[in-house]
Amino acid sequence: MGPLELRPADVRRPSSSRRALLAGSVGNLVEWYEFGVYGSLATVIAANFFRYEGSSGAEALVATYASFALAFFFRPVGAVVFGRLGDRLGRRPALVVVVGLMTLATVLIGLLPTRAAIGAAAPWLLTLARALQGLSAGGEFGGAVSFMTEYAPVGRRGLYGAWQSFTVALGLLTGAGTAAALAGALPAGALYAWGWRIPFLLALPLGAVALWLRTALDEPPPPSAAPAAAPAGGVPVGSVPVGPRELARAVVLGIGRIMGWSAAGYTFLVVLPSYLQTTPGTSLREALLATALANVGFAASILPAGALSDRIGRRPVMLGGALGVTLLALPLLHVLQSPGASPWARAGAVLLAGALVGLMAGPGPAMLAEMFPRRVRCTGLGLAYALAGAVFSGCAGLVITALIARTGDTSVPAYYAAGACALSCCALLGLRGQGHREPLG
């Protein structure tokens, strides 16, 4: 099948665009709030669900991250199921269903009995809830990014798409901050006994607000009827052929372009708290504070990066972030590991690490939206994001923890993030320099 004909976008009313931005991004906050909580409280969850008599804390933590990774492998399934729903029936129905399912699964985790109460069934129930979260999260990204970029005013697609990543940062920061606040306010015994449930139950009011906002949405306006001329430089943005083979190629290319974002993001923003607790002299509270600071750096750079990509293009901004992680991951990790490093030096290291990830995450959603035509956009970009997440994000904690245990090399997190970002640099070099200026088909 040949390329789809591109048409210029209708003029968006500012009020409609702002409502779409709010409703499209709020579901991401709920989703990533939970992931931030789960990553920050991984050692607590391990003790309650995966630790059994005769097992070690390291074994329980590996099992916890295995459950974490399993949810990511359900994401591609959710991307296909809910992506097809969004492409065929509309963006709004898909967005309503996924935020409802995510909220239900998150609250369920907060209500689950532990292994001490019901034995071996507890980790299986937790894994089932994580699988439901994976399904809903797989549909969330494709639907939300399609919705926000299709509503974006001319010349602001990068900024509007960046709000998806920004609410991811807010969700992770809120999750990590909530966990850190509980760790500071509660004795360790109370935190392990019942306090860990509070952050998961807080997803209920957040999800209710997201559901209310999304049920009131209108579908993005279709492109206008007037055909647009193709730019002189080549194929218009978003006009890849939509046959299975061509779509698969675009998905694989999308994975390559965001794998560094996925791997570095989870290494620095989610896995960090549990990893730092293995560093001598670092307490749970200090590890959670470091994670919160990394997420502050991440959040602070996302929107400026998205806006900058609307001016100079997606390629230079994303390449800057990927190259920065490739070169600086190991030195930054050494600062965190050094017993003689000052608190200010450690704070600067985690802030910079988060900011580098934000340079990739800001333009990333718009870049993916521009790779796929409207009629397969939810499915295509959602599948690329979900597969990258399954392989390079969901497995980050499991791979890093297992390799450190096997090799004793505490620099594994830096190698993992830097290696993935180096490969992303190669894929990002193929981005068209003027794609950000062309109409979205």
Tens digit of each residue's pLDDT (9 = 90 or more) over 224-256: 533 333 343 344 455 555 677 888 899 999 999
Residue 229: predicted pLDDT: 37
More confident residue, 399 or 317: 317
More confident residue, 319 or 180: 319
Name the range with the highest mean pLDDT among 292-296, 366-370, 401-405, 407-411. Answer: 366-370
More confident residue, 278 or 370: 370
Distances (CA, A) of 426 to 30, 33, 230, 255, 420: 33, 32, 27, 12, 10
What CATH class has 14-220+240-437? mainly alpha
d(CA 165, CA 92): 20
Residue 395: predicted pLDDT: 75
CB 79 within 8 Å of CB 141: yes
Q: How confident is the model at residue 11 (pLDDT cuts 50, 70, 90)?
A: very low
Tokens coding 260: 């560094």
Residue 327: predicted pLDDT: 96
CB 275 within 8 Å of CB 282: no
- 34-87 tens-digit pLDDT: 777 877 787 788 788 876 665 555 666 666 667 666 777 888 999 999 999 988
- 113-148 tens-digit pLDDT: 988 888 888 888 888 888 888 888 888 888 889 888
How many Å separate Cα 280 from the centre of its chain? 30
Residue 226: predicted pLDDT: 34
Residue 230: predicted pLDDT: 38
Q: Is the pLDDT of residue 158 over 90?
A: yes
* DSSP string across 28-55: HHHHHHHHHHHHHTHHHHIIIII--TT-
Residue 55: predicted pLDDT: 56
Residues contacting 184, CB < 8 A, separation 6+: 285
In this structure, which amino acid lies at residue 382? G
| Mean pLDDT of the 26-31 span | 80
| Mean pLDDT of the 299-305 span | 95
d(CA 363, CA 366): 6
| Mean pLDDT of the 306-327 span | 95
Domain boundaries, the chain: 14-220+240-437
| Mean residue pLDDT across the chain | 81
Q: How confident is the model at residue 352 (pLDDT cuts 50, 70, 90)?
A: very high
Share of the chain above pLDDT 90, in %: 27
